[in-house]
Structure 1
Amino acid sequence: MNALVKSATIIDPKSDFHNETVDILIEKGVISNISKRISNPKNHKEIKLDNLHISQGWFDSSVSFGEPGYEERETIENGLKTAALSGFTSVAVNANTNPVIDSHADIHFLKLKAEKHATNLYPIGALTRNSDGKVLAEMFDMKNAGAVAFYDYKHPIDDPNLMKLALQYASNFNGLVCSFPQESKISGLGVMNENITSTSLGLKGNPALAEELQVARDLFILDYAEAKLHIPTISTAKSVELIRAAKKKKLNVTCSVAIHNLIFTDEELSTFNTNFKVLPSLRTQKDIDALIEGIKDGTIDMITSDHNPIDIEDKKIEFDYAKYGTIGLESAFGALNSIFTIKKTIELLTKGKERFGIESSSISIGNKADLSLFNPNENSIFSKEQMTSRSKNSIFENRELKGIVYGIIANNKMILSK
């Protein structure tokens, strides 16, 4: 793939051209020249877009599709197209399919289906067989097949000894264990944050305590096992405190937060809109403030869209019975850019690769082109017409977002919306 990108402002602190507006020549998928003005004698395709900005390719550490088994929610092909049009050149894909991705063959299937796409798919294998929390899955075999981490998506590991064994076993091959932060017996049948709002709405509450107990437990086990742990999608102020203290003790722990947990409070549920039924639950403004502070001081290592397509039959029903989840890839950039500076937004969208063993490529001559293209300044109302996901369960529907994404250049391919 050959292209000449014209008048692009580079946002990449690792590049010599950071904050400069330049032309970028890409030949056979590699950046061959960067300069103020580049001629085009070979008549390569020219990319000229309004207020074009370019950064290193974005990464999302928690994405769900549906294939195999739930293709009505999302296919791998359309999911990767959606990721590309949303600016993501790499996504780590969860194991919550049917069957669950818990073997070497399953990992191989995902990688085979994702071949020849612009966006890289990195499989996350299940931590336990069928994600049932009883017996460890074939972690080493999945690692050899290409799994970048092990996680029973949204299923907490109730047995502390099993978590200890998982961490100890994974440490033998530098595997990354992920543990969903929820204590099942405390959370019970709660469907939203336990608070005055849940009481007024008559909905069962899921207290912050359920998350915080699990985080504290896992950190104690991590200290004992001397392994490495990733805690996905924390949502409470106390969780931030616990992880901050663990990092001061030099424990090998990272964590993420879902973008919607940085923006919406539990008061949004007053309309019983099931797109706001997510896990972990939307919390309070105090929690949001603590999460944002955790991002700023480095306690929280990465953000995620926590993209989880759910078909309409499982969302357009009574709130108690609706499935948890929201799509988030398409709205990720515009939502983050609404609350952070563009520099911080891009930093958050490109963090996390190293933790998952994924290579980064700065915008420099001689490096492969792994680029996200966007305009940080154009506002728009996010509507169903802008959703390329098969499922339309977006928590950000009808919300104003700041900035638009043009697409990506990656894997010697170019996917652009314009």
Structure 2
Amino acid sequence: MNILIKSATIIDPKSEFHNSTQDLLVENGYITNIGSNLKNPKNYKEIQLDNLHISQGWFDSSVCFGEPGYEERETIENGLKTAAASGFTTVVMNSNTNPVIDTNADIAFVLSKSANHAVTLLPLGALTRSSKGEDLAELFDMKMAGAVAFYDYKTAVTNPNMMKIALQYACNFNGLVCSFPQENKITRNGVMNEQVTSTKLGLKGNPALAEELQVARDLFLLEYAGGKLHIPTISTSKSVALIKEAKARKLDVTCSVAIHNLCFTDEALNDFDTNFKVIPPLRTQNDVEALIEGLKDGTIDMVTSDHAPIDIEEKKVEFDHANFGTIGLESAFGALQTVLSTKKAIEVLTRGKSRFGIEPNPIKIGHELNATLFNPNNTYTFSENDIKSRSKNAIFKGSSLKGKVYGIIANNKMYLNP
């Protein structure tokens, strides 16, 4: 791939061209020159777009694509196209397929389906067989096949001894263990945050305590067993405080937050819109503020769209019976810019890669170009026309967002939105 990118503002603190507007010459996927008013003697395709900005490629640590088994929700092929259109050059795919991804053959299948794409797909293997929490899955074999971590998606590991053994075993091959932060005996059948709003609406509550107990338990287990722990999608102020304290004690722990938990509170459920039924649930304004602050000070390591396509049949039902989850890739950047500055949004969209084995790739001469192209200033109302996923369960539908993604360049391939 040979192209000349014209007048792009580079947002990359790791590059000497950070905050400057430059031309980038890319030959065979590698940056061969950066400068002002570069010539194009070989007649390469030129990319010139309104208010063009470029950064290191964005990273999402939690997406669901459905395939195999739930192709009606989303396929790997269309999921990767959606990721590319949304600005992501690397995504981590969850194991909640049918069958659950819990063997080396399953990992090999997913990698084969995602080969030769601009977006790099990193597969997660289930932590326990069929994500049932009863027996460890084939962790080492999956690691050798290409799994980057192990996670029973949105399924709490209720047996503390199982979590302890997983951490100890994964130490042998530097494996990353993920644990969903929820104590099921406290949550029970809760469908939203337990607070004033849940009482007013007459809906069963999922208290912050359920998350915080599990976070505290897993941090104690990590301290005892050693290993590497990642806690996906925390949602409460106390969880932020617990993880901050654990990091101060040098425990090897990271965490993420779903973008919608930064943008909405539980009051958004007043209309019983099932698109707002997510897990962990939307919390209070105090929690939102603590999550944003935790993201800014580095306690929270990364953001995620927590992209979870769900069939319309599982959303257009009574709130109690609706499935949890929202799609989020398409709205991720625009939503994030409603709560963070552009530079901070880009920072949190590009950090976290190394935790999953991907080293950062600064925009420098001689480096392979792995980048996202965008306009940070475009404002619009997110609608169904902006959705590229097969499923349409979008929490941000009708929201005012800021920022337009032009596309990505990665793996010596380019994807630009029409």
Query: Partners of 2:167 and 2:335 in 1: how far apart?
Result: 34
Aligned counterpart, 2:19: 19
Query: Partners of 2:85 and 2:183 in 1: how far apart?
Result: 36
Residue by residue over 1:334-365, the C-alpha shift from the partner in whole angstroms, topping out at 9 and shown as x without a partner, is 11111111110000000110111112211011
Residues 1:263 and 2:263 are matched in the alignment: yes
Amino acid at match of 2:302: M
Aligned counterpart, 2:204: 204
Aligned counterpart, 2:88: 88
Residue by residue over 1:75-118, the C-alpha shift from the partner in whole angstroms, topping out at 9 and shown as x without a partner, is 00000000000000000000000000000000000000000110
Secondary structure of the 1:330 match is coil
Residues 1:305 and 2:305 are matched in the alignment: yes
Point out 4+ residue stretches in structure 1 off by more than 2 angstroms: none
Secondary structure of the 1:34 match is strand
Secondary structure of the 2:173 match is coil
Secondary structure of the 1:172 match is helix
Aligned counterpart, 2:56: 56
Residues 1:102 and 2:86 are matched in the alignment: no
Aligned counterpart, 1:35: 35
Query: Partners of 1:293 and 1:417 in 2: how far apart?
Result: 33
How far 1:56 moved relative to its partner? Answer: 0.3
Residues 1:79 and 2:79 are matched in the alignment: yes
Query: Partners of 2:359 and 2:404 in 1: how far apart?
Result: 26
Secondary structure of the 1:22 match is strand
Query: Partners of 1:137 and 1:124 in 2: how far apart?
Result: 12
Identity across matched positions, percent: 70
Amino acid at match of 1:99: P
Aligned counterpart, 2:374: 374
Aligned counterpart, 2:333: 333
Aligned counterpart, 1:383: 383
TM-score when normalising by structure 2: 0.99
Query: Partners of 2:105 and 2:297 in 1: how far apart?
Result: 40
Query: Partners of 1:117 and 1:359 in 2: how far apart?
Result: 19
Amino acid at match of 1:130: S
Residue by residue over 1:114-164, the C-alpha shift from the partner in whole angstroms, topping out at 9 and shown as x without a partner, is 001100000010000000011000000000000000000000000000000
Aligned counterpart, 2:187: 187
Aligned counterpart, 2:362: 362
Query: Partners of 2:240 and 2:302 in 1: how far apart?
Result: 13
How far 1:230 moved relative to its partner? Answer: 0.3
Aligned residues: 418
Aligned counterpart, 2:163: 163
Secondary structure of the 1:338 match is coil
Amino acid at match of 1:52: L
TM-score when normalising by structure 1: 0.99
Which stretches in structure 1 are left out of the alignment for 5+ residues?
A: none
How far 1:333 moved relative to its partner? Answer: 0.5
Provide the alpha-carbon RMSD of the alignment: 0.6
Aligned counterpart, 1:178: 178
Residue by residue over 1:5-51, the C-alpha shift from the partner in whole angstroms, topping out at 9 and shown as x without a partner, is 00000000011111110100111111111111111111111101000
Aligned counterpart, 2:285: 285
Amino acid at match of 2:7: S
Secondary structure of the 2:127 match is coil
Secondary structure of the 1:217 match is helix
Which stretches in structure 2 are left out of the alignment for 5+ residues?
A: none
Aligned counterpart, 2:219: 219
Amino acid at match of 1:196: V
How far 1:382 moved relative to its partner? Answer: 0.5
Query: Partners of 1:85 and 1:32 in 2: how far apart?
Result: 25
Aligned counterpart, 2:322: 322
Amino acid at match of 1:230: H
Amino acid at match of 1:275: N
Amino acid at match of 1:149: A
Query: Partners of 1:19 and 1:298 in 2: how far apart?
Result: 22
Query: Partners of 1:348 and 1:296 in 2: how far apart?
Result: 9
Amino acid at match of 1:94: N
Residue by residue over 1:46-71, the C-alpha shift from the partner in whole angstroms, topping out at 9 and shown as x without a partner, is 10100000000000000111100000
Secondary structure of the 2:402 match is strand
Query: Partners of 2:360 and 2:115 in 1: how far apart?
Result: 19
